[in-house]
Amino acid sequence: MTASSTVEIDCPLPDLAATEAVAAALAMASEPGDIFCLSGDLGAGKTTFARGFLRALGVEEEIPSPTFNLVLTYDTARGTVWHFDLYRLSAREEAVELGIDDAFADGICLIEWPDRLGAWLPEQRVELHFSDAGGGNSRHLRLRALGSSAERWRRAMASDMDVSDFLDRQGWGQASRAALAGDASSRRYERLTRGGETAVLMRAPPDAMTAEFIAIDELLAGLGLSAPRILGAAAEHGLVLLEDFGDDTYTALLDGGAPAEPLYQLAVDTLIHLHQGYSPSNGLMVFDGARFLDQAMLFCDICLAPMAEGKSHAAVESFKQAWTAPLNQAMAVPQSLLLRDFHAGNLFHLGQRPAVKACGLIDFQDAGVGPVTYDLVSLLQDARRDVAGEVTAGCLQRYRAAFPDLDQSAFEASYAILGAQRHVRVIAIFNRLADQGKPGYLEHLPRLWRYLDAALTHPALREVAAWFQTYTNRRYK
């Protein structure tokens, strides 16, 4: 193994809180496929670390040591965590009966007494050795990360130092931290609790997107909409401290049986308010036909080869030609602020606020200027959930009634075209995420193909439908 694929870090842990803080830092950077090997004498801090790791991922139930069970599993915001204690393992083969192969494949593993596995341990892993550092609860940790992800763990440890400094400066340094469910991006979210107060910490790559998030947040607030109030920011480190909107996302409410129609009407009213109040300005990304075409081409990069028996230049060129005219036609509607991921998972119901302020908005850092139809498609043809036909029809009628001068034919064509474009792009993205070890995204593909099939019946997409009929054997009338 080369030096470049191994990272070693020594870390003093003066008390239990320090052990739990390191556990939280690694938990926040974890993802399915990660394996943490915990070693050290009895009482060295392995179980304390495991509990801190799980608490950081939002596990609220009792967390016993798995000494007698040998393995315990927990569903968390990052995926399933498998906590193994192999002290009583008499033969390596017994680990297979515990499901360790499944855990290695798509889980996050915490393994106490990993030496029991010997050569069965995957090469890519994080070794954590705990030792006594002078009595009491003081410990010493040696972290040794091996494999292609080793550098990620060095960055995670360094990043957590930035986070701790940032939270200290904001007065939230002593707050407890728990992971919130993330999205398909590289951003991560934590809920901070300080006494009776809560806030949300957004951790993103230290790039321009953090500054853009702040700018769009301020723009939306200035338009009288509910974007989370920014409590503090260090854009150079990708850190933003935000107002906590709570747990009433549209997704949670709808899953809990809340009536769909009032929520979707509120969301459409929010778009109406936005499209009536926003005046396009310089400095924001422009979503035009060329940009939408570039996004659609992702489908060829990811999906064409397995579907069309080999990715050919002719197939790619005909795909591009089929989309060019429709996407330019889709621009023939008014342009406004396009939030891009305006759907149930990114909307909150803030019941104590009046009118459109009751719709809380998040995940808008990719916003730009583009056709008003796009966010309606994102909302009403949600990749992750079905929206009843009567709700969709009522919402579209509600929107059109607010803009009586809107060219209805152009609106319908743009809605169909951008719906098809979005579904093609998301089908590609979800396939890529599945290939990266997130198979849960595959369950949404049948819905996306239904949406796409329906959109491709619009006359404006005749050439695109012909392409899919040629290369995927799908049939369109």
Q: What is the 3-state secondary structure (H, E, C) of 34-88?
A: CEEEEECCCCCCHHHHHHHHHHHCCCCCCCCCCCCCCEEEEEECCEEEEEEECCC
pLDDT at position 332 is 97
Rounded Cα distance, 255 and 53, in Å = 28
pLDDT at position 305 is 65
The neighbouring-strand residues paired with 127 are 37, 144
pLDDT at position 207 is 65
Of 176, 144, 139, the closest CA to residue 157 belongs to 144
- Of the CATH numbers 3.30.200.20, 3.40.50.10090, 3.40.50.300, 3.30.70.640, which one belongs to the domain with range 166-243? 3.30.200.20
User: If DSSP codes are grouped into helix, strand and coil, which group holds residue 343?
Assistant: coil
CATH topology for 250-472 is: Aminoglycoside 3'-phosphotransferase; Chain: A, domain 2 (3.90.1200)
Q: Where in the chain is the domain with CATH 3.40.50.300?
A: 7-147
pLDDT at position 4 is 47
And the tokens for 96?
Answer: 């297979």
Rounded Cα distance, 165 and 268, in Å = 41
Q: Where in the chain is the domain with CATH 3.90.1200.10?
A: 250-472
DSSP secondary structure string, 202-214? EE--SSHHHHHHH
Rounded Cα distance, 378 and 252, in Å = 18
Q: For residue 118, with 0-12 CB atoms within 10 Å meaning exposed, 13-18 middle and 19 or more buried, which class applies?
A: exposed
- Of the CATH numbers 3.40.50.150, 3.40.470.10, 3.30.420.140, 3.40.50.300, which one belongs to the domain with range 7-147? 3.40.50.300
Q: Are 228 and 242 in contact (CB under 8 A)?
A: yes
Task: pLDDT tens for the chain, 477 residues: list them.
Answer: 344 478 888 888 877 877 888 888 888 888 889 999 999 888 888 888 998 899 888 887 888 877 777 888 998 878 899 999 888 887 777 888 888 888 888 899 999 989 888 888 888 999 999 998 777 778 889 999 998 888 888 877 777 777 888 888 999 988 887 777 655 556 778 889 998 999 999 887 766 678 888 999 999 999 999 999 999 998 888 889 999 999 999 999 999 999 999 999 999 999 999 999 998 776 889 999 999 999 999 999 888 765 555 557 888 999 999 999 999 999 999 999 999 999 999 999 999 999 999 999 998 988 999 999 999 999 999 999 999 999 999 999 999 999 999 999 999 999 999 999 999 999 999 988 887 667 888 999 999 999 999 999 999 999 999 999 988 867 654
